[in-house]
Amino acid sequence: MGVSEGSRTCAGFIPAGSVVGEGRRRNGFVCSRRPSYQRTLPVRQAEIVESSDAVLDQQVSSSDTPVLVDFYAQWCGPCKLLNPILDWASEEYGSGLKILKIDADTNNKSVAKYNISALPTLILFKNGEMKSQIVGAVAKSRVSEFLKENI
């Protein structure tokens, strides 16, 4: 079964003229699979690392690149909305940005030290010092602008 022009996919709409591999229909959507002979080149994606009170200061101060720290909680819905944006930032900036996540519920010392009063909070450190922060769930465009201004 081929995919026709203008079909809906799992990820959205396929524009006319797009080349898409064979797929199977599921709930009216075409779930396309990449043929096994197609490969993608590896992306130099920065790793998003879980941090803690014990090592956060050392990770920030010893980094040669800017460090973006995400203060989050497992139960926080807006915090979960930032995950795809952080994934994007890790792909976009690669090894030029270190991304750390720290659970605010289990790391009270860091929460107190940086006066975290709302979640999610993103803090950007440069040369070991706090440069800027964003509080609350924000759009990808705002995070992109924030990083461009401060890196």
Alpha carbon of 69 to those of 7, 42, 94, 143: distances in Å?
40, 25, 15, 13
Superfamily, domain 48-150: Glutaredoxin (3.40.30.10)
Catalytic annotation on 31?
no
Describe the strand order of the beta sheet including 8-9 as a list of residue ranges: 12-13, 8-9, 29-32, 23-26
Pairing of β 98-103 and β 121-126: unpaired
**Which of 76, 86, 104, 122 is the catalytic position?**
76
Scored b (16 or more CB within 10 A) or e, 15-34 reads eeeeebeebeeeeeebebee
Computed over its alpha carbons, how large is the radius of gyration of the chain? 19
Q: What is the DSSP letter of 43?
A: P
Distance of CA 60 to the CA centre of its chain: 18
Scored b (16 or more CB within 10 A) or e, 86-122 reads beebbebbeeebbbbbbbbeebeebbeebebeebbbb
Closest CA to 88 of 141, 51, 40: 141
**Which of 79, 97, 116, 123 is the catalytic position?**
79
**What is the tens place of the pLDDT at every residue in 38-86?**
444 444 556 899 999 999 999 999 999 999 999 999 999 999 999 999 9
Catalytic annotation on 79?
yes
Query: Given a cut of 80, is residue 24 above it in pLDDT?
Result: no
Q: Give the global pTM.
A: 0.70
**What is the tens place of the pLDDT at every residue in 80-118?**
999 999 999 999 999 899 999 999 999 999 999 999 999
CATH 3.40.30.10 occupies which residues in the chain? 48-150
Q: What is the DSSP letter of 63?
A: -
Which region holds residue 111: left if phi is over 0, alpha if psi is between -120 and 50, else beta? alpha
